[in-house]
Amino acid sequence: MVLSQKSKTILVICITLTLVAICFVAAFEISRRLSNGIKAEQDISLKPADVIHSLGEGWQPEGSLLEVLGEIDRDGASIASSIETTYTWEMFRISAGISWIGEVLSVSSVPRTLYGVNDWLPVEYYYRTSEDVIYAVYRVYDQSVGDFYAYCFFRKLDPLANNGQEDTELWFLGGRILFIRERLSYSDFESIGIGSSLTDVVRIDPMAQLFRPIDPTETEFERERWNSEKQEYEVYIESIELYLFTYLSYKTYHYTDEGLVCIFFTREDISQEFTVSEIGINGTFVIRDGFGYNAEPISLRIAEEDLPPRRQR
| pLDDT per residue as tens digits for the range 131-154 | 889 999 999 999 999 999 999 999
HSE (CB half, 13 Å, CA atoms) of 95?
Answer: 17
| pLDDT reported for residue 64 | 74
Question: Stretch 102-124: mean pLDDT, rounded?
Answer: 80
| 187-216 average pLDDT score | 94
Which position has the higher pLDDT, 176 or 178? 178
Distance CA 38, CA 29 (A): 14
CB 157 within 8 A of CB 58: no
Of 130-134, 242-246, 262-266, 285-289, give the range with the top mean pLDDT. 262-266
Query: What pLDDT does residue 52 have?
Result: 78
Going by the DSSP 8-state scheme, the letter that residue 310 receives in this structure is P
Task: To the nearest 10°, report the CA torsion of 215, 217, 218, 222.
Answer: -100
With a cut of 50, say whether residue 36 has pLDDT above it: no
Residue 17 pLDDT > 80, yes or no? no
Instruction: Give the number of other Cβ atoms within 10 Å of residue 90's Cβ.
Output: 11
pLDDT at residue 291, as a whole number = 52
User: Taking residues 203-227, what's their average pLDDT?
Assistant: 84
Separation between Cα atoms, residue 134 and residue 111, nearest integer Å:
17
Instruction: Please tell me the predicted confidence (pLDDT) of residue 163.
Output: 62
Q: Per residue in 44-79, pLDDT tens?
A: 346 778 777 777 677 777 777 777 676 555 666 789
Entry pTM: 0.75
Considering only residues 163 and 105, tell me which one the structure prediction assigns the higher pLDDT.
105
The two most distant CA atoms of the chain are separated, in Å, by 116
Q: Is 102's pLDDT higher than 80? A: no
The count of other CB atoms within 10 Å of the CB of residue 58 is 10
Of residues 276 and 1, the one with the higher pLDDT is 276
pLDDT at site 75 = 66
Residues 127/66, Cβ–Cβ less than 8 Å: no
- Between 10-14, 82-86, 155-159, the lowest mean confidence (pLDDT) is in 10-14
pLDDT value at 24 more than 90? no
Q: Is the pLDDT of residue 29 over 50?
A: no
If we measure between CA atoms, which residue out of 241, 245, 247, 262 comes closest to residue 176?
A: 262
Average pLDDT on 29-39 reads 40
Work out the mean pLDDT of the chain and round it to a whole number.
79
